[in-house]
Structure 1
Amino acid sequence: MNMAAFLALVVAVLRFIQLKPKVLNPWLNISGLVALCLASFGMTLLGNFQLTNDEEIHNVGTSLTFGFGTLTCWIQAALTLKVNIRNEGRRVGIPRVILSAAITLCVVLYFILMAQDIHMYAARVQWGLVMCFLSYFGTLAVEFRHYRYEIVCSEYQENFLSFSESLSEASEYQTDQV
């Protein structure tokens, strides 16, 4: 779960960087980043606090993961349709809306079954929910294939650049290569 949380965090940052120059109102992009970061934090809680050891923290992690994960899916579906990267917005956006609806239905059904203490069926719904999340994140590959992300590593220098010099040097790179 910790590895999945870290990878979700990486996807959140890469998606934010990808959409940053294309979104007119950045609040939706920022809220998508924050929502996926909170869902990732919930995943770390799930992975580190098992249900049998600390039920309360585990349930908080479940709520964070499923709640903010669902919110992230709807935000990213809206951004996909709005930004329309390389005219693939509808082709990718419609399956994302369908998957977001399925995820929402599973989350609601999961919490209804848990409230009624029907744990066996809730566990099955939970696995279906996880599969829908994995399918959803798989759809991001369609838009990530158009971008190349690089990490630039350079040799240690004796004289450090000032903050403003390093910012001007960083601005020379395109935003999709940072």
Structure 2
Amino acid sequence: MTAGDDSKRASRTCALVVAVLRFIQLKPKVLNPWLNISGLVALCLASFGMTLLGNFQLTNDEEIHNVGTSLTFGFGTLTCWIQAALTLKVNIKNEGRKVGIPRVILSASVTLCVVLYFILMAQGIHMYAARVQWGLVMCFLSYFGTFAVEFRHYRYEIVCSEYQENFLSFSESLSEASEYQTDQV
């Protein structure tokens, strides 16, 4: 296993974490949940495409690698546009435009790169297609960096508790966990 494999695994994991956290963040704020759910599903499918890309190299299994490329770029682009629309619609802490406009610009850049990539690949100009692909990856990474603006307003916790015969609801277990925490302070 190389450092490149670790970075690919980290990017897939980060994409899934961002997908779930963003879904949880927007769930109580959106009126029509279908857009939020479709954003979650699109980013999960893009992450699956990244898994195919990472596990099936172009030289070993070109067909599966190309399916992974299509999933990653196609659903990744869809994710960018969905999240840009959600950002402008929800406007968390009145920062919707401050974050939404760069997301729209980055979404347009991603779309342009995807279209250009597939045009160059269809013409067999692989050297330039590879350069566009790296530009596309940089646009995706920049896009994911914009989530830090909205995530800074939230605190996410994972609560683990001892197994009990009587299952409590999520809110009951959270209040129970907070009671234990105050006793420890």
Tell me whether the two structures share a fold, i.e. TM-score over 0.5: yes
List gaps (5 residues or longer) in structure 1: none
Q: How many residues align?
A: 175
List gaps (5 residues or longer) in structure 2: 1-10
Contact 1:49 1:57 in 2 (8 A): yes
| RMSD of aligned Cα (Å) | 4.3
Instruction: Indicate the SS of the match to 1:157.
Output: coil
Partner of 2:32: 25
Instruction: Indicate the SS of the match to 2:134.
Output: helix
Cα distance in 1 for residues equivalent to 2:95 and 2:37: 22
Cα distance in 1 for residues equivalent to 2:182 and 2:37: 16
1:162–1:65 CA distance, 2 compared to 1 (3 A): closer
Contact 1:29 1:79 in 2 (8 A): yes
Cα distance in 2 for residues equivalent to 1:86 and 1:51: 44
Deviation per CA, 1:41-80, whole angstroms, max 9, x where unpaired? Answer: 0000000000000000000000000000000000000000
Partner of 1:84: 91
| Percent identity (aligned) | 94
- 1:8 Cα deviation from its structure 2 partner: 0.5
1:164–1:124 CA distance, 2 compared to 1 (3 A): closer
Instruction: Indicate the SS of the match to 1:132.
Output: helix
Cα distance in 2 for residues equivalent to 1:18 and 1:172: 24
- 1:170 Cα deviation from its structure 2 partner: 10
- 1:153 Cα deviation from its structure 2 partner: 1.2
TM-score using structure 1 length = 0.88
Contact 1:39 1:68 in 2 (8 A): yes
Cα distance in 2 for residues equivalent to 1:62 and 1:176: 52
- 1:97 Cα deviation from its structure 2 partner: 0.1
TM-score using structure 2 length = 0.85
Partner of 2:70: 63
Pair 1:98 & 2:105 matched: yes
- 1:155 Cα deviation from its structure 2 partner: 2.6
Contact 2:159 2:174 in 1 (8 A): no
Partner of 1:135: 142
Deviation per CA, 1:95-139, whole angstroms, max 9, x where unpaired? Answer: 000000000000000000000000000000000000000000000
1:23–1:110 CA distance, 2 compared to 1 (3 A): same
1:170–1:156 CA distance, 2 compared to 1 (3 A): closer
Contact 1:18 1:176 in 2 (8 A): no
Contact 1:78 1:93 in 2 (8 A): yes
Contact 1:149 1:176 in 2 (8 A): no
- 1:171 Cα deviation from its structure 2 partner: 14
Instruction: Indicate the SS of the match to 1:117.
Output: coil
Instruction: Indicate the SS of the match to 1:52.
Output: coil
